Structure 1
């Protein structure tokens, strides 16, 4: 019974942790089945949560599972990727975080995706993220020359109220030649996680290059909508190092993970130190970098912030579930 409850919790937390809402699906013909083990249809909840990403796909959307989405922004310098939270700009930092966290969900709870028939859909989504991160990275051999970290402009985008298919050319493409490690290391983490899960060698090649690029210039980039915060890029670098260690078993990456910051707050797009700490614990048994786990009170709902408190609570549950799976209490 405990194991089954954990399976249900894993379905909920890993689906909800990186999505703010689930899109209405009344007009949608599901392209994949979802099979629940009991009357509480957690399988359907997982399935519907994944449609959130189909709703936010950008570029060539021929692989989108929603019939009412079409191609959009195909004239971008680098087409593809995913729109931001309900608008149509593309910000690299939360996009990289989202892709890496989805990869983590599958890495730890792949049996839940498999048994509910959702693995194929999840792979479409994470592969689409990975393709954009590769396409957004200009390489010279194994050395990164520049990386596309934003598309569009947030304030201008917020003035547009309509579908992305009719928005037209959004113009601005922001490239980085270094000093945006909080963004580019997230790309590296997402690509490494996707390699661990699905073994595309190009994902690993670009992950390594982006990690080296980020480590060589760990300065950070912030904009009005997303910033590096107090954590700088140390958390993203540790997070990426953990995934690269899982992908390669190179002790150098493990040493970088061990030297990462402690996770004193909930994992989120700005600070992934707790996720890195849980990775370290699951790999080595050293949980000292994940001290925030388990500090609940009252009814157990961990309230971190009034802005999106449910996403923080769901991500805290996911981190705790992973830690519990690997023997931490």
Structure 2
């Protein structure tokens, strides 16, 4: 098509030209800012997000797929379940060893799914939705296999004692792969409940893109909840080998409430809502004031989810109980913000400002807090509410700002000037307590490495790990912000899947905020220049 020209017409920079100008000027301004002031500007949340999702590929058990991006890993655990006559190939190793622990794995998938539910658009904008769905599905595919009949769930593959005797790559495993299950006579309501929550949450995630799979997950979730509720008991009483590693200290009542909450969200079936109402007091949902949220203790998460229902018209008649849930949820938020009157009701902080719950793997509590605070901040903003703590009123911006401070501490804004997300930034832990990462990759050396050979040749080495465990959030510093990057310092240098999972949504949220802030600042600058 020939374009007509109007050589004598004088051009004016009207509003129709603004999008073009804004786009190109913003690009120039952004490049200048990032080049000249990179030290003082925001962290690269896009990079942190993409790296956090790589970590889950490094933790894969089973047959590694063709599109695997973490290339130093290969197939492992291909005979899992064989002794018991069941296919238990797949799933995730929880940390630096090779046991597949059901409870922390399920919590990991619940938190990945919750991230994808709350921040799906932001994750998609960042181009990471497909990787997030793959990370979730790798876990849920395994749970489908592990749930072999309505009242049977395989709880664990391998055992910690024999596993910890060896320091091997997963590809060379010689340790016991015995599998353990819960059933009617050996119940595990906490494990059944958490797995039900994970599958219910994942069913919401896949509802739009894979309806059949979503329905299948929900089917399993419903059966698992019924099993866990009907045959009650702690899973560590039935699976004794787990007691030294993932004992259920909080019991199973929080998981049953948590599962029912997720099933209500997934199905809108009043039966599950009535369950959390009728058991609110008896199960501690409106009784426990908790200042941590983890693979073991779910109260803060379910209290926060249920308190959001207060704004829904159809739930108004249940206001009294929901208000009690909200009081407990807000206790958690206020304790993180140090806004409760009594210091013992507030979470301790390091001198550098990091939330500090306990010495071993403290970062797990930081990442879950950052997630809960972020989602609650969103809720208050969307409903035009404020939080009333004992020491005063708090708006959504203050909560969001504190959540961001925790995320930024993780990424390097701390006294050690170190990123605790492996592979991110110029300085991060190089000697992560992780068998596969610390030994030369199977892809580079296919020669068998024996059980204790890894201890002899690799564990005690002062050299950095030959494989970078990108995206892993390690245990982190002590209460004084000190961190020692030693492989045998497992309290600080071991990473877990449930540490990183909550960060997927949080990174996506802060990336979205930074992107919109940059565009807004550019627009303001340009509009000012045209006045």
Q: TM-score, normalised by structure 1?
A: 0.83
Q: 1:323 maps to what in 2?
A: 376
Moved more, 203-212 or 47-56: 47-56
Q: Does structure 2 conserve the Cα–Cα contact (< 8 Å) formed by 1:56 and 1:82?
A: yes
Aligned pairs for 1:7-156 (under 5 A) are 40-62=43-65, 64-77=68-81, 78-139=88-149, 144-156=150-162
Q: Does structure 1 conserve the Cα–Cα contact (< 8 Å) formed by 2:196 and 2:225?
A: yes
Helix, strand or coil: the match of 1:255?
A: helix
In 1, Cα distance between the equivalents of 2:356 and 2:118? 25
Q: 2:20 maps to what in 1?
A: none
In 1, Cα distance between the equivalents of 2:47 and 2:73? 21
Helix, strand or coil: the match of 2:155?
A: strand
In 1, Cα distance between the equivalents of 2:274 and 2:354? 34
2:198 to 183, 190, 196: 190
Aligned pairs for 1:204-215 (under 5 A) are 204-215=218-229
Q: Does structure 2 conserve the Cα–Cα contact (< 8 Å) formed by 1:76 and 1:169?
A: no
2:260 to 241, 247, 253: 241
1:288 to 327, 338, 354: 327
Q: Give the superposition deviation at 1:263.
A: 5.0
Name the CA shift for 1:39/1:304 in 2 (closer, same or farther; >3 Å). Answer: closer
Bigger relative contact order, structure 1 or 2 (CA pairs below 8 A, ≥6 apart)? 2
Q: 1:30 maps to what in 2?
A: none
Q: Give the superposition deviation at 1:289.
A: 3.5
In 2, Cα distance between the equivalents of 1:196 and 1:283? 17
Larger Rg computed on CA atoms: 2
Q: Give the superposition deviation at 1:134.
A: 0.9
Can you give the 5+ residue segments of structure 1 that lack an aligned partner in the other structure? 1-37
Can you give the 5+ residue segments of structure 2 that lack an aligned partner in the other structure? 1-40, 82-87, 208-213, 237-242, 312-321, 339-348, 381-385, 388-531
Q: 2:247 maps to what in 1?
A: 227
Helix, strand or coil: the match of 1:232?
A: coil
State yes or no: 1:304 paired with 2:330: no
Q: Give the superposition deviation at 1:112.
A: 2.2
In 2, Cα distance between the equivalents of 1:257 and 1:91? 27
Q: 1:23 maps to what in 2?
A: none
State yes or no: 1:278 paired with 2:281: no
In 2, Cα distance between the equivalents of 1:64 and 1:213? 35
Q: Does structure 2 conserve the Cα–Cα contact (< 8 Å) formed by 1:282 and 1:326?
A: yes
